[in-house]
Structure formats: C-alpha cells, structure tokens
Amino acid sequence: MELTGQIVAFLTPFMPYLLKAGESAAQEAGKNLSEEAWASAKALWAKLRPKVEAKPAALEAAQDVAENPDDEDAQAALRLQLKKLLNEDPALAEAVAGLWEQARAAGVTVVNRSVVIGGRVSGSIIVTGDENVVG
C-alpha cells in the first residue's frame, strides 16, 4: 500500500475527531482511541490540514470521510486529493513521510484498515472503522 493509502487508512477512524475543533473533541478522542495512535493522527493532520483546507476538493473529501468513515468511495477521493497535494509539494510529502515513519517506529501500523499498536494495549478502545477492539 502506498503512503497516501496507508495514511488515509490510518486517519479514517480519526477524521470525525480531527475535524471537530476544540478541547471537547480531543477529550472524546482520548476516551475512545489509543493514546499513541491519537498523537500520531494529530501530528499527521496538523501537517496536512492547512493544505487540505486550502483546496476545496480536498476539504470536501476529508469531510466526507469524517461523516462516512466506512464509505470506500469517500476514502478513495481523500486518497486522490492527498496524493495530489503531496505530489505538488515535495516538502510536505517529505514531512508527512517522516511523521508516518515516526508513527510506525512507535508501533502504529495499518493492516486492512485496522490500527495495530505495537506493545501492550490495555484500557483502550481502538476504532478501526470496521469494528471496535478493546485492549
């Protein structure tokens, strides 16, 4: 799976929280998502968000994924928009690739739209878009 595919698969379950503004969204996400995965998602989105918000088609694709995380067409649209953004901005692509490598080094990986955290996970709920796994 190429980088944009991995990032969209990883970010998909986080999009409803990432697109909400404010502390309440962060608290809600903290209750429902792995701390390591949430930190990685926030870092990736912080890097991508300005470019996504500056391009209406990309923003609409992100909003569609947030509203319908299981919609494969919405995910495909977001993949295409992120691919375009990363191709247009090599510095952004490099920064995103670096953040993804940091996430992977921390044990965050994506397997068939599932979030897998290395090490022991307890007292957390990991939202994958397909099902919730309590660890």
* 1-21: pLDDT as tens digits: 588 999 999 999 889 888 875
Whether the CB-CB separation of 1 and 9 falls below 8 Å is answered with yes
The encoded tokens of residue 97 equal: 């690739």
Domain interval for residue 20: 3-134
Q: Residue 111 belongs to what H/E stretch?
A: strand 108-111
Q: What is the pTM of this model?
A: 0.75
pLDDT in tens, 40-79: 998 999 999 999 999 999 999 999 999 999 999 999 999 9
**pLDDT, tens only, 80-111:** 999 999 999 999 999 999 999 998 888 776 65
Q: Domain total for the chain?
A: 1
